[in-house]
Structure 1
Amino acid sequence: MNSYHKETATFAGGCFWCMVKPFDTLPGIEKVVSGYIGGKVEAPTYEMVKSGTTGHMEAVQITFDPDVFPYEKLLELYWTQIDPTDDGGQFFDRGSNYRTAIFYHDEAQKALAERSKSALASSGRFTKPIVTRILPAAPFYPAEEEHQKFYKKYPDRYAAERSESGRDTFIKEKWGR
């Protein structure tokens, strides 16, 4: 009998192309889907969200086995992929659709997210306030197929996006990764 059970985690971390790979191949991760969350339009398209008029954020939704890869570890990995002090977007992607947020799916996730945010804020790693939002999960709309597993489909474009955006440099300088 299989004791595997699934949970869902949803993180907005700027460009969703850059947020899939860090989670995608880890043990206990069943799938990582790029999509849109937190807006006021049903079933938005990439162009709609990119315009900044729908209220959605680009995000990844992760299906995982918490017995293999606990939510706390997902949070730790999430923080090391973003600049949690930037409320105007992430790196060269600017606008509300590129802000950071942790969308919790239950009260346990909310408590763990708040605890991890508080620990990061008091760690001294950043001099500016941690502005990443912690919000209740909202309807999540998977992005179009061309945006799924972008790092595998377009490895050169993916690498250029990470490098040119400043994300890789920031992660190396702030997180040593």
Structure 2
Amino acid sequence: MEENFEQATFAGGCFWCMVKPFDEQPGIVSVLSGYTGGTTENPTYQEVCSETTGHYEAVQITYDPAVFPYERLVELFWQQIDPTDAGGQFYDRGSSYQTAIFYHTEEQRRIAQASKERLNESGRFSLPIVTPILPAKEFYPAEEYHQHYYKKEPQRYQAYQIGSGRKAFQERYWRDKK
């Protein structure tokens, strides 16, 4: 990794939906779908979906903080999820679809915690923000067919965004940020 690049890791439910919003930003070097937070080494998608590995579906972002700072990454992350749902995201239920911010440095932890507190106090949501902020663990890339799914299967991706309820949720709660 280049010396001036950093990594950020976010779990936001289905990782298919978490790539495109970051991938389209300046200063983003790469967005990789994968698994983190659990105990199984090199898990497969089927193993993670079985809810036995402890892993979350997540994205790991390599970025240039001089172009797109971590604060902006965290703000964009909040706009992709329902941070009040502890049971998964939209119609994807279970621990592998729960949300989390995985920090790589103490500075990332501090920024994420302050951002979470601001969001909680903003009144944007009537329920408390339950997304945990956790230390980063080993990240395992997902199978190739999951990488950049929105580019490989644009019609299925769009149907999933709408059918899962994610798109309607984003429009309801984040219309002012579009």
**TM-score above 0.5, yes or no:** yes
Match for residue 68 of structure 1? Answer: 67
Counterpart of 2:169 in 1: which secondary structure?
A: helix
Residues 91-135 of structure 1 deviation map (CA, whole Å, 9 limit, x = unaligned): 000000000000000000000000000000000111111000100
How do residues 1-177 of structure 1 correspond to structure 2 at under 5 angstroms?
5-176=4-175, 177=178
Q: Which amino acid aligns with 1:110?
A: R
How far did 1:155 drift? 0.5
Unaligned runs of 5+ in 1: none
Q: Is the 8 A contact 1:9 1:103 kept in 2?
A: yes
RMSD over aligned Cα atoms: 1.0
Runs of 4+, deviation exceeding 6 Å: none
How far did 1:52 drift? 1.1
Task: Give the paired residue count.
Answer: 175
How far did 1:152 drift? 0.2
Counterpart of 1:60 in 2: which secondary structure?
A: strand
Q: Which amino acid aligns with 1:35?
A: G
Q: Is the 8 A contact 1:4 1:65 kept in 2?
A: no
TM-score calculated relative to the size of structure 2: 0.97
Question: CA–CA distance in 1 between the matches of 2:34 and 2:3?
Answer: 25
How far did 1:4 drift? 6.9
Counterpart of 1:34 in 2: which secondary structure?
A: strand
Identity fraction in percent: 64
How far did 1:137 drift? 0.2
Unaligned runs of 5+ in 2: none
Question: CA–CA distance in 2 between the matches of 1:4 and 1:64?
Answer: 11
Q: Which amino acid aligns with 2:18?
A: M
